[in-house]
Structure 1
Amino acid sequence: MTEPRNTDPYTDPRAFYGSELRRLREAARLSQEQVGERVFCSATYIGQFENATRRPQLEMSKQLDELLDSGEHLQRLCRLARTSKVADYFADAAELERLAKTICEYAPVLVPGFLQTEAYARAITRTATPFASQESVEERVRARMDRQGILDDSTRPVLWEILSETVLRSPMGGPGIMYEQLVHIVEMARRRRVVVQVLPFISMSEAYIDSMISVMSFGDAPTVVYTEGAGSGQLIDDPALVEHCQRSYDLSRAAALSPMASLDLLESVAEDYRVT
């Protein structure tokens, strides 16, 4: 059974949702296992909602309201608890990242968020949202930098990044920012829990993924995949689709340069930006 964390339910909407779910479950004399069986999920999943480590889901809240005869109580609390610093379409994936044991990402165009420098993040945010206020831009940049904090946790996750060569050759923010960005990636890759590979142009015919994907594996739950496009994102948990994405990722990993050769290429391209 998942132990509740020490969070004040009266100052944290997600913790309040969890405490109310626990109160309703116990009033119905149901264990986490029994609730999970009735709404087709694991006891661990219910425990994560109760201890506020997982963001509540609206559809799941509807099922729980029906099971616990609580009207729309949990659904209303769910809407309050789903506030997030990141885009709503990405918020669920951001929560799962904190629970994952391994995160395997493929980046077709841009440096993935976990590897971005602050200057690079600011440059692409300004490009993607040209009419946003400076305050809004800085808020998004701070959220991205905060997200990288999970890499400082020695217990998880292991991060595996495959970068299309396009990522290296697209001078977002200009040569100076790109030089610092590529050097930063090399430094990150020298950490034991971060692996970086480059998929060169010449290998695109062997393995190709047309959008950003993130494959997240867990110790006590099935693997899920997050895909993202322009202003949209989708979590995939259908076993057949997850397996398809995993195979595509494995092919890309096999076709990519070795980690050592990838670092050599990153350093070489970085030098090109420095002399420009």
Structure 2
Amino acid sequence: MSLAKACETSGFSVATLSLIENGIKPLDPLDIMILGRIYELPNDTWKREVRRAEYASNERASGESKQRLNAPEDVDKSYLEAVTLYALGTDMLPRFVHTPEYRISATTLGCPTYPGDSPASTAERHAGWIRRLASTKGSSMTVEVLVTEDAVRRVVGNPTITNAALVQLVHLSEIEHFKVQVIEREFCLDARLESSYMHLTFPHRQHDDVVYIERSGSGRYIEDPAVCQLVQQSFKALQRSALTPTLSVELIAEVASSLAFDLSR
């Protein structure tokens, strides 16, 4: 059954059903009863799921459950499954290339976070991401990053923390399937770039493309195929206007060196 047909029959919007499919919107018992009827599930199957949903619903209502579904947490897991990742950072480096110290400092500047974003868990996820990206054993992930000159030059936390994040970005650029480009300040003013985002594509059919938009203090998903396509087209247009990868890495290294020099003084 197509998504459009399922939405027409159930009365759900496309966005709601997509959120349910991707595990972002919790299932209420009534949702399961409706979907069980539409997909013609056996009675014992959907009734069992209703009982589970009732328990989860009560836990959420009581406020005792420590589990919280939100976009920033979910995107950290999603980019470990993606095969292609396009990222644009306007005021800070993109979320997934934050060093643990950079991310912790970024939260004080309004970067979206969540209760589990402790230093230890942040460092563990970051290390796993770097290992996967740097793996020479048939890594199928392609990463293309656009970052504004202002984001590169912005000191987050202190010069030492920002220097470490920029040096890491330079090292990542040495990986064959990782590319970073800098958009010069003059072009940013003309283009009025405001929001950072990540566009992820996945290898399996049941997971559509997703765009994760990050603004000060909030993060959200967009899964509409038309929007995802427009974002990708815009990303490619920005790439053509950015510095080449070689010049971009030279600029990032230059800024990192200036921060190290200031610290030594």
Summarize deviations over 1:131-178 as a string: whole Å, max 9, x none: x99x97525633652562543564343211111111111111222222
Residues 86-235 of structure 1: matches in 2 within 5 Å?
Answer: 88-126=70-108, 128=110, 137-139=118-120, 141-142=122-123, 144-145=125-126, 148-149=129-130, 150-152=132-134, 154-205=138-189, 207-219=191-203, 220=205, 221-235=207-221
What CA distance in whole angstroms lies between the structure 1 residues aligned with 2:197 and 2:28? 25
What CA distance in whole angstroms lies between the structure 1 residues aligned with 2:2 and 2:224? 23
Distance 1:87 1:156, change over 3 A: farther
Distance 1:216 1:148, change over 3 A: same
Distance 1:238 1:98, change over 3 A: same
The 10-residue stretch of structure 1 (102-111 or 113-122) with the greater mean CA deviation from structure 2: 113-122
1:73 counterpart = 2:41 = no
Distance 1:136 1:204, change over 3 A: closer
Supply the AA of the counterpart residue of 1:93. V
Distance 1:208 1:136, change over 3 A: closer
Aligned to 1:14: none
Q: Please state how far the C-alpha of 1:211 moved relative to its aligned partner.
A: 0.7
Supply the AA of the counterpart residue of 1:119. E
Aligned to 1:250: 236
Distance 1:159 1:136, change over 3 A: closer
The 10-residue stretch of structure 1 (255-264 or 66-75) with the greater mean CA deviation from structure 2: 66-75
**RMSD over aligned Cα, in angstroms?**
3.9
Contact 1:120/1:181, CA 8 A, preserved across alignment: yes
- Aligned identity (percent) is 20
Q: Equivalent of 1:265, from 246, 251, 262?
A: 251
Distance 1:34 1:102, change over 3 A: closer
Higher relative contact order (CA 8 A, sep 6+): 2
Give the structure-2-normalised TM-score: 0.70
Q: Please state how far the C-alpha of 1:197 moved relative to its aligned partner.
A: 0.8
Distance 1:94 1:112, change over 3 A: same
Give structure 2 stretches of 5+ with no counterpart.
9-16, 37-45
